[in-house]
Amino acid sequence: MARILIVDDASLVRLYYRQTLEAAGFEVREAFNGLEALEKLLVEPVDMLIVDVNMPQMDGMTFLKALRGQALPIASIPALVVSTEAGVQDMAAAQAAGANFYQVKPLSRDALLQYARMFCGVPA
Amino acid sequence: MNEFLEQFLVEARELVEQATNDLLALEAAPSDRESLDGAFRVFHTLKGGAGIVDFAAMSRAMHAAEDVLATVRAGGRPVDAALIGDCLTAIDNVVQWLDTIQDTGALPQNADAAADRLVARLVAGETAARDAKPEVAETSTPPAASPLAILEAQIGFLGAGGDGRIGAAGRLAANLLRHLNRTDDADEIARVTGESLKSGRAATLIDAITQVLQASTEAAPLRSEPLSRTLRVDAERVNALVNLTGELTVAKNAIGHIARLARESDSSLAAAIQDEHARLERLIATLQRAVLGLRVLPLRTVFQRFSRPVREMSESLAKPVRLETEGEDTEADKAIVDILFEPLLHVVRNAMDHGIEPAAEREAAGKSLIAAIHLRACREGEHVVIEVEDDGRGIDADRVRAAAAERRLVAPDALAAMSDAEAVELIFAPGFSTARAVTGLSGRGVGMDAVRTAVERVGGGVQLRTDPGSGSIVRFVLPFSVMMTRVMTVQAGGQMFGIPLDAVVETVRIPRGQVHPVGGAHAFVLRDRTVPLVDLGRTLGRGGGGAPAAEATVVVTLSGGQLGGLEVDRLGERMDVMLKAPDGLLAGLPGIAGTTMLGDGSVLLILDLSGVLQ
């Protein structure tokens, strides 16, 4: 089953994502900021990243820039950025930083699962 | 008490007041984003402040409250009385702690236990809320984007290039297609991603994604609701688009030429231009397919024109006939649909006139008195197949032989050596007609040869299957879209030729004095480059007529990476033609890429430039 790394500093958000995704059979890993995420990826690759923008120490955008500059295959992990910022410039900034797609919060349970299935190639 | 702590207390009391206001406002208006964000920020700041002054228990409690509100902001749970209550309890605790800190400079002894209770309560509330009514949160949040929208976004994502992006976009694109159960497309994208990574060119992957998206838009009406949204557009406008696409091809070729020039002066710039040229080339090819896709029409427009003529023929010949059509929804390029009626009508007439027997004969053969003519269309891969089937007497090979002998179409011994199937094919020979008497319908001097010519002009073919006694099927196999080749016509040695326009760089006039002999050939200098010059008429063995003009009219072409000049007598027009591979005497003739039939029935030779310039 596909493995997903949640990068978010809010533990309840991580819990919410984890429970939703695990109930659907996904394997879930957690990191509370970009630095921890990079460290975890070097140890164990994943199939998808769900990344928050505002995080302490290393925010989502800085993390994605660093990620895309890594060696393959780590650099090639598809990333979904989930953030409260909804402006067009935020979407463009996220894509420029290295996000494959950008979803404005709030993210419902259905939408979260739908994204996980699409990003991990689970047939509809 | 130190200054630091005093500052913390002042700030914290302000924050507590603000949090209370925000939480009460949020309870009154649960969708009020500003109050939610305000309360969230307060807990966030309190957490930070408590951390700085080293009140770990308070920091822990504030973090839990902050997380609860973060979940709300993420759509994870709704705003309800329980949530507001929990957060207000947390604030009450903070107020008590602040009082104790003011008096003693430290948190009370029981702060750790209180903090634990708060965290447990906040987390439990979160879990309870989730179990109780998850649908509240879910109905108010937007759905996920569609797979195709995400796929399209990868084009923008790929813009900056780099291995990471190519890899990530490629993986995601393939997964999106797998999600849509389009395994073949997914495999293709995976393959292209590998290619793109190897060359380091994001454009390769962008093009592949563009093609998948384009194919998806084409196929979409089939998958979604049957009532697709259509738009009526004047055919002329679509044709203008098709022609513009052709012109775009010419502009693209000029850029290819410039890239070559640039490579000689500045290699870094040349590589960039060449990259863009390659990308332009693929995009234009995609555009061309898309534009040609606009020109499709259902065959219904042709089929529905048959019921009346068939009824009239049926009456005048006193042969009761039932016309049945199938596959009217099959689509084909307008250029093909437009030419179909005449040839099909001819085949239907033949079937009515010669194929279907008089009623008495049908009765004797034990056939239904009402004859049937089927008009069918279907798509077979890149082809559209149209069949006219009748249940008449079929074609009698011996009668065809007799008619062919009578008209001296074939030598008697050759005729005798022919199989029945070969003999039947003679009905396509020019000047063939087996009608014993010229009836009002067939036998007007237009035979099956005209049918075959018309179909071949649009790149199709005609097949015939006949079963003596039980009927015949005439089958048109047509291309789905007409890929036209745009050519420039020129006159040389008294004859017209076509030069594929995508090989034409420019046309120039060179004063005779500037044409220099080089070895046994000629050349001229064009913008510091020596270009070999070939006299087209002479090269093709048509001889140069009369004295050479003071200026040579030259078509500069680019073929196989080489510039070449073709001297011609006169430049003609540009036109779209259906290129047909040379056959018969022309096959194997160097310098001829193919032929095309012009509107007046004459044949235009299309040049193969690499052959001519050698």
HEC readout, B354-392: HHCCCHHHHHHCCCCCCEEEEEEEEEECCEEEEEEEECC
Q: What tokens does B319 get?
A: 């042969």
Contact A104 B156 (CB under 8 A): no
User: What secondary structure, in 3-state letters, does B252-318 show?
Assistant: HHHHHHHHHHHHHHCHHHHHHHHHHHHHHHHHHHHHHHHHHHHCEEECHHHHCCCHHHHHHHHHHHC
pLDDT tens-digit readout, B408-417:
888 888 888 8
Q: Is the pLDDT of residue B133 over 50?
A: no
Residues forming a β-bridge with B298: B331
What is the least distance, in Å, from the CA of A40 to any CA of chain B?
Answer: 18
Report the pLDDT averaged over residues B292-319. 84
Residue ranges with strand state E in B527-587: 529-535, 551-559, 562-568, 570-577
Q: Is the pLDDT of residue B1 over 90?
A: no
Residues forming a β-bridge with B478: B384
Q: Higher-confidence residue: A56 or B431?
A: A56
Q: Is the pLDDT of residue B353 over 50?
A: yes
Contact B176 A118 (CB under 8 A): yes
What is the least distance, in Å, from the CA of A77 to any CA of chain B?
Answer: 5
Contact A119 B144 (CB under 8 A): no
Report the pLDDT averaged over residues A53-64. 88
In the prediction, which pLDDT does B225 show? 36
Dihedral of CA atoms B71, B72, B78, B79 in degrees, nearest 10, equals: 130
Confidence of residue B440 (pLDDT cuts 50, 70, 90): very low
Contact B164 A67 (CB under 8 A): yes
Which of B59, B79, B121, B150 has the most A C-beta neighbours within 10 Å, making it the best mutation to test the interface with A? B150
Confidence of residue A26 (pLDDT cuts 50, 70, 90): very high
Report the pLDDT averaged over residues B547-562. 80
What is the least distance, in Å, from the CA of B170 to any CA of chain A?
Answer: 8
Among B154-158, B503-507, B556-560, name the one with the lowest average pLDDT: B556-560
Confidence of residue B587 (pLDDT cuts 50, 70, 90): low
Contact A12 B144 (CB under 8 A): no
> Chain A contact for B71, CB < 8 A?
yes
Q: Is the pLDDT of residue B257 over 80?
A: no
Q: Is the pLDDT of residue B134 over 90?
A: no
Contact A95 B156 (CB under 8 A): yes
Give dist(CA B318, CA A66) in Å, integer: 85
Report the pLDDT averaged over residues B259-271. 77
Q: Is the pLDDT of residue B422 over 80?
A: yes
pLDDT tens-digit readout, B354-387:
899 998 899 898 999 899 999 999 988 778 999 9
pLDDT tens-digit readout, B11-40:
888 888 888 888 888 887 888 888 898 898
Give the closest residue to B472 by CA, choosing from B436, B448, B444.
B448
User: What secondary structure, in 3-state letters, does A15-68 show?
Assistant: HHHHHHHHHCCCEEEEECCHHHHHHHHHHCCCCEEEEECCCCCCCHHHHHHHHH
Residues B159 and B140 sit within 8 Å (Cβ to Cβ): no
What is the least distance, in Å, from the CA of B227 to any CA of chain A?
Answer: 24
Chain B residues with beta carbon closer than 8 angstroms to that of A53? none
Tell me the backbone φ, ψ of residue A91, rounded to 5 degrees: -60, -50
In the prediction, which pLDDT does B501 show? 82
Contact B178 A73 (CB under 8 A): no
* Eight-state DSSP code of residue B517: E
Q: Higher-confidence residue: A77 or B430?
A: A77
Report the pLDDT averaged over residues B474-493. 82
Instruction: Report the residue of chain A nearest B73, measured CA to CA.
Output: A106
Contact A119 B168 (CB under 8 A): no
Q: What tokens does A100 get?
A: 């494959």
Which of A100, A105, A110 has the most B C-beta neighbours within 10 Å, making it the best mutation to test the interface with B? A100
In the prediction, which pLDDT does B138 show? 35
Within 8 A by CB and 6+ apart from B552, the residues are: B509, B510, B511, B512, B515, B524, B533, B567
State the count of interchain CB pairs (< 8 A) between A and B. 145
What is the least distance, in Å, from the CA of B87 to any CA of chain A?
Answer: 15
**Phi-psi category of B582—alpha, beta or left, where left has phi over 0 and alpha has psi -120 to 50?**
beta
**Residue type (1 letter), B440:** G
In the prediction, which pLDDT does B588 show? 63
Mean pLDDT rounded to a whole number for chain A: 89
Mean pLDDT rounded to a whole number for chain B: 81
> What's CA A13's distance to the chain center, in Å?
12
* % of chain B at pLDDT higher than 70: 86
Confidence of residue B439 (pLDDT cuts 50, 70, 90): very low
* B593 membership: H or E segment, kind and range: strand B592-597
Question: Judged by CB atoms within 8 Å, which residues 35-64 of B form the interface with A?
Answer: 63-64
Q: Which residue has the tokens 């239907």?
A: B348
User: What three-state secondary structure class fits B332?
Assistant: strand
Report the pLDDT averaged over residues B113-132. 77
User: What three-state secondary structure class fits B86?
Assistant: helix
Give the closest residue to B23 by CA, choosing from B56, B68, B55.
B68
Report the pLDDT averaged over residues A111-119. 94
Angle, helix B163-179 to helix B202-223, in steps of 10 degrees? 20
In the prediction, which pLDDT does B494 show? 80
Report the pLDDT averaged over residues A40-61. 91
Give dist(CA B47, CA B55) in Å, integer: 9
Which DSSP string corresponds to B424-454? Answer: HGGGGSTT----SS--SSS-SS--HHHHHHH
Angle, helix B307-317 to helix B334-350, in steps of 10 degrees? 10
Give the closest residue to B449 by CA, choosing from B579, B346, B603, B340.
B346
Contact B166 A123 (CB under 8 A): no
**pTM reported for the whole predicted model:** 0.41
Contact A108 B141 (CB under 8 A): yes
Q: Higher-confidence residue: B600 or B117?
A: B117
- End-to-end CA, chain A: 15
In the prediction, which pLDDT does B131 show? 59
Q: Which residue has the tokens 């010949």?
A: B317
Give the closest residue to B395 by CA, choosing from B450, B366, B432, B345.
B432
* B144 membership: H or E segment, kind and range: none
Q: B54 burial class (0-12, 13-18, 19+ CB within 10 angstroms)?
A: exposed
Residues A98 and A68 sit within 8 Å (Cβ to Cβ): yes
Give the closest residue to B555 by CA, choosing from B484, B485, B488.
B488
* % of chain A at pLDDT higher than 70: 96
* A111 membership: H or E segment, kind and range: helix A109-120
What is the least distance, in Å, from the CA of A105 to any CA of chain B?
Answer: 5
Chain B residues with beta carbon closer than 8 angstroms to that of A110? 138, 143-144
Q: What tokens does B145 get?
A: 């984007």
Confidence of residue B221 (pLDDT cuts 50, 70, 90): very low
Contact A122 B157 (CB under 8 A): no
Contact B171 A76 (CB under 8 A): yes
pLDDT tens-digit readout, B380-398:
877 899 999 999 999 888 8
Chain A residues with beta carbon closer than 8 angstroms to that of B177? 121
Q: What tokens does B614 get?
A: 């050698």
> Chain A contact for B469, CB < 8 A?
no
In the prediction, which pLDDT does A66 show? 93
Tell me the backbone φ, ψ of residue A16, rounded to 5 degrees: -60, -45
Tell me the backbone φ, ψ of residue B333, rounded to 5 degrees: -60, 140
Give dist(CA B158, CA B170) in Å, integer: 9
Query: Taking every pair of C-alpha atoms in chain B, what is the biggest distance, in angstroms?
Result: 128
Give dist(CA B514, CA B566) in Å, integer: 15
User: What three-state secondary structure class fits B568?
Assistant: strand
Chain A residues with beta carbon closer than 8 angstroms to that of B150? 100-101, 118
Among B53-62, B240-249, B539-548, name the one with the lowest average pLDDT: B539-548
Chain B residues with beta carbon closer than 8 angstroms to that of A111? 141-144
Question: Judged by CB atoms within 8 Å, which residues 140-169 of B form the interface with A?
Answer: 140-145, 147, 150, 153-154, 156-157, 160, 162-169
Tell me the backbone φ, ψ of residue B610, rounded to 5 degrees: -65, -35
Contact A123 B67 (CB under 8 A): no
Confidence of residue B542 (pLDDT cuts 50, 70, 90): low
Give dist(CA B115, CA B58) in Å, integer: 6
CB count, 10 Å around CB of B255?
16
Reported ipTM: the value is 0.93
What is the least distance, in Å, from the CA of A84 to any CA of chain B?
Answer: 8
**C-alpha separations of B515 from B274, B506, B508 in Å:** 31, 17, 13
Among A88-92, B98-102, B224-228, name the one with the lowest average pLDDT: B224-228
Contact A10 B179 (CB under 8 A): no
Chain A residues with beta carbon closer than 8 angstroms to that of B64? 12
In the prediction, which pLDDT does A13 show? 80
Report the pLDDT averaged over residues A39-68. 91
Most confident by average pLDDT, A111-120, B194-203, B574-583: A111-120
What is the least distance, in Å, from the CA of B559 to any CA of chain A?
Answer: 40
Give CA angle at B263 (B260, B264), nearest 5°. Answer: 100
Report the pLDDT averaged over residues B423-451. 65
